[in-house]
Structure 1
Amino acid sequence: MTAVQRVAIAGSGVAALAAAIQLAKAGVQVEVFEAKPELGTVGSGISLQGNALRVFDALGAWDDIRAAGFPFEGLTLRAPGPGAAVVAELPDVKSGGPDYPAAMGMPRADLARILFDHAVAAGARVRFDARVTGLRQTEQGVEVLVNDEPVGVFDLLVGADGVNSAVRELIGIETRPQPTGMGIWRAFVSRPADVPRSELYYGGRMYIAGYTPTGDNSMYAFLVEKAQDRSGVSEGEATRIMIDESRAYDGPWNSVRADLEAGAPANYTWFTQHLVEAPWNRGRVVIIGDAAHSCPPTIAQGAAQALEDALVLTELLVAADTLDQGVWDAFHARRLPRAGAVVSASVQLGQWQLDGDRDADAGGLIFGIAKKMAEPA
Structure 2
Amino acid sequence: MSTPRTVLVIGGGAAGSAAAILLRRAGITVDLIEAKDDWNATAGSGITLQGNALRVLRELGVWEQVEKSGFGFGAVGITTPDGTVLHVAEDLRTGGDDLPATVGMQRPQLQSILIEAVRASGAGVRLGVRATSFAQNRHGVTVAFTDGTEGRYDLVIAADGLGSATRAAVGITDKPEPTGMAIWRIAAPRPAGVARTDLAYGGPAYIAGYCPTSATTLYAYVVEANRDRGSIPPDTYADEMRSLAQHYGGHWPEITAHITDPARVNYTWFDRLLVEGSWHRGRVVLVGDAAHCCPPTLAQGAALSMEDAWVLAQMLTATEDAADWDDALLQAYYERRIARVRPVVEASVQIGQWQLDGVRDADVPGLMGGTMTMLRELP
Instruction: Tell me if both proteins adopt one fold, taking TM over 0.5 as the criterion.
Output: yes
Tell which deviates more after alignment, 23-32 or 231-240: 231-240
Counterpart for residue 46 of structure 1:
47
- What is the CA deviation profile of residues 106-129 of structure 1, one whole-angstrom value per residue up to 9, with x for unaligned ones? 011111111111111111111011
Tell which deviates more after alignment, 70-79 or 35-44: 35-44
Q: Find the partner of 2:353 among 351, 354, 370.
A: 351
TM-score (norm 2): 0.96
Tell which deviates more after alignment, 241-250 or 358-367: 241-250
3-state SS of 2:213 partner: strand
Q: Distance in 2 between matches of 1:101 and 1:89?
A: 17
Q: How does 1:1-377 map to 2 (within 5 A)?
A: 5-40=5-40, 41-81=42-82, 84-147=83-146, 149-261=148-260, 265-320=264-319, 321=321, 322-377=324-379
Q: Distance in 2 between matches of 1:164 and 1:130?
A: 16
Report the residue type matching 2:336 in the other structure.
Answer: R
Q: Residues 3 and 93 of structure 1: is their aligned pair in 2 closer, same or farther, counting only changes over 3 Å? A: farther
Structure 1 residue 330: Cα displacement: 2.6
Q: Distance in 2 between matches of 1:319 and 1:8?
A: 18
3-state SS of 1:216 partner: coil
Report the residue type matching 2:46 in the other structure.
Answer: G
3-state SS of 2:166 partner: helix
Whether the 8 Å contact between 2:7 and 2:155 is mirrored in structure 1 is yes
The share of aligned pairs that are identical, in percent, is 45
- What is the CA deviation profile of residues 64-106 of structure 1, one whole-angstrom value per residue up to 9, with x for unaligned ones? 111111111110111013xx11000101110000010000110
TM-score (norm 1): 0.96
Whether the 8 Å contact between 2:285 and 2:330 is mirrored in structure 1 is no
Q: Distance in 1 between matches of 2:4 and 2:362?
A: 47
Q: Residues 3 and 327 of structure 1: is their aligned pair in 2 closer, same or farther, counting only changes over 3 Å? A: farther
Stretches of structure 2 that go unaligned for 5 or more consecutive residues are none
Tell which deviates more after alignment, 245-254 or 152-161: 245-254
Whether the 8 Å contact between 2:235 and 2:263 is mirrored in structure 1 is no
Q: Residues 260 and 26 of structure 1: is their aligned pair in 2 closer, same or farther, counting only changes over 3 Å? A: same
Stretches of structure 1 that go unaligned for 5 or more consecutive residues are none
3-state SS of 1:149 partner: coil
Report the residue type matching 1:62 in the other structure.
Answer: W
Whether the 8 Å contact between 1:9 and 1:159 is mirrored in structure 2 is yes
Q: Distance in 1 between matches of 2:288 and 2:50?
A: 16
Tell which deviates more after alignment, 293-302 or 242-251: 242-251
Tell which deviates more after alignment, 19-28 or 254-263: 254-263
Between the two proteins, the alignment pairs up a number of residues equal to 375
Structure 1 residue 278: Cα displacement: 2.4
Q: Distance in 1 between matches of 2:147 and 2:65?
A: 37
Whether the 8 Å contact between 2:10 and 2:157 is mirrored in structure 1 is yes
Structure 1 residue 267: Cα displacement: 1.9
Q: Distance in 1 between matches of 2:3 and 2:355?
A: 46
Whether the 8 Å contact between 1:4 and 1:155 is mirrored in structure 2 is no
3-state SS of 1:315 partner: helix
Whether the 8 Å contact between 1:2 and 1:319 is mirrored in structure 2 is no
3-state SS of 2:92 partner: coil
Q: Distance in 1 between matches of 2:261 and 2:166?
A: 41
Q: Distance in 1 between matches of 2:210 and 2:166?
A: 34
Whether the 8 Å contact between 2:35 and 2:130 is mirrored in structure 1 is yes
Aligned CA RMSD, in angstroms, stands at: 1.6
- What is the CA deviation profile of residues 184-233 of structure 1, one whole-angstrom value per residue up to 9, with x for unaligned ones? 11111010111101110001111000000111111110000011124343
- What is the CA deviation profile of residues 12-71 of structure 1, one whole-angstrom value per residue up to 9, with x for unaligned ones? 100000000000111111000111111115420001110000001111111111111111
Q: Distance in 2 between matches of 1:76 and 1:91?
A: 9
Whether the 8 Å contact between 2:283 and 2:326 is mirrored in structure 1 is no
Report the residue type matching 2:293 in the other structure.
Answer: S
